[in-house]
Amino acid sequence: MKFELFSEETNKLWLRMSAKSSADNLQIELELYRKLLNFFQVGDYYYFIFNVKNLEFDLVSSQFETMLGYQHATVTVMLFMDCIHPDDRPWFLAFENKTAEFLSALPVDKLMKYKIRYDFRFRKSDSTYIRVLHQVAVVQHDADGGILRTLGVHTDITHLKPTGRPVMSYIGMDGEPSYLNIDVKNTFAKSTEKLTAREKDVLRLLIEGKLSKEVSEILNISKQTVDTHRKNMMRKNGLSNTGELIGKAINMGWL
């Protein structure tokens, strides 16, 4: 998905969530600290406070620079959105749209009793991708339920989920029920794939260390066809050997 369209659609969703909120100086420190304890997981992470009404970060922790390599002073919402993998942007939009519907249906007194959890691939400063677990909870809202600020935590889960499409869950806190693996229809246009489905099948097996002959047997195709797929993938991406293909596929999150 092209970044300009992605950015425009996301901003519309966030502004709709904030509605006509006017409150701006609520004390959120105690609630923030309590929720931070519910977020932390084993692995690299950073946290942030997002001002939904102003569409900007009020705070981003210093771990953002350590984990992703970007200078802390350069962190903006635009940078954050641009770093989401193009193929995962439609899922991000679909999840945010579904989240807006879910939160708007909650009683005001339960808005701060849920955290939204989903994953997507995120680009580091060296242009490689990691998969992050994105967890967000409301930490400030007005009397009418307009969302003012959210607390977010990103944890690197690449080692736990190297491949697969993003999934979303709503996690209840303070005794509220949880809703896991929400069925979300992705209605947003997907970006153009560089690799065909069959090329991805071949690539996945090559990454597992299979030889061309083994790949051909598993996929029930000829070894010549496997080699043709491999060469086409290298040609389309300007690579000279299978090692480079596998390395780039892993680093760029192609699967």
- Both 9 and 68 in one domain: the answer is yes
CA angle 245, 246, 248 (to 5 degrees): 65
* pLDDT at position 223: 94
Contact 179, 116 (CB under 8 A): no
Residues 52 and 154 occupy one common structural domain: yes
pLDDT of residue 87: 86
- How far apart are the C-alpha atoms of 88 and 120, rounded to whole Å? 6
Q: Are residues 86 and 141 in the same domain?
A: yes
Q: In angstroms, rounded to a whole number, what is the distance separating the alpha carbons of residues 190 and 83?
A: 16
Total number of domains in the chain: 2
Considering the domain architecture, whether residues 128 and 213 belong to the same structural domain is answered as no
> Which token pair is 131?
């998969």
pTM greater than 0.85: no
Cβ-contact 216, 225 below 8 angstroms = yes
Question: What integer pLDDT is reported at residue 99 of this predicted model?
Answer: 94
* 144 and 23 in a common domain: yes
Is 186 inside a domain boundary?
A: no
Domain membership flag for residue 192: no
Q: Alpha carbon 192 to chain centroid distance?
A: 18
Cα 140 versus chain centre, distance: 23
Do both 124 and 222 map to the same domain? no
Q: Which pLDDT belongs to residue 24?
A: 55
Structure tokens at 57: 């970060």
Q: What is the pLDDT of residue 231?
A: 92
Q: Is residue 89 part of a domain?
A: yes
Please indicate, yes or no, whether residues 168 and 207 belong to a single structural domain of this protein: no
Residue 115 lies in a domain: yes
Same domain, 135 and 244: no
Q: Are residues 41 and 158 in the same domain?
A: yes
Residue 188 resides in a domain: no
Among 157, 172, 187, where does a domain finish? 172
Tokens of 93: 């939009």
- Could you tell me if residue 141 is inside a domain? yes
Return the ∠ at Cα 140 (arms to 102 and 16), rounded to 5°: 50
Q: Tell whether 157 and 203 lie within a shared domain.
A: no
Question: What pLDDT is recorded for position 191?
Answer: 46
In a domain, 45, yes or no: yes
**Residue matched to tokens 């100086």:** 25
Q: 106 lies in which domain range?
A: 3-172
pLDDT per residue of the chain (255 residues) written in tens, 0 to 9: 767 777 777 877 777 777 655 555 555 555 665 566 555 555 789 999 999 988 999 999 999 999 999 998 889 999 999 999 988 999 999 999 999 999 999 999 999 999 999 999 999 999 999 999 999 999 999 999 999 999 999 999 999 898 888 999 999 999 999 999 998 876 665 544 578 889 999 999 999 899 999 999 999 999 999 999 999 999 888 888 998 888 888 766 677
In this structure, the answer to whether residues 93 and 143 fall within a common structural domain is yes
The reply to whether 136 falls in a domain is yes
Residue at which a domain ends, from 137, 172, 207: 172
User: Cα 92–186–17 angle (5° rounding)?
Assistant: 50
| 121: CATH | 3.30.450.20
Same structural domain, 245 and 150? no
Structure tokens at 184: 């979300």
- Output the domain CATH number for residue 207: 1.10.10.10
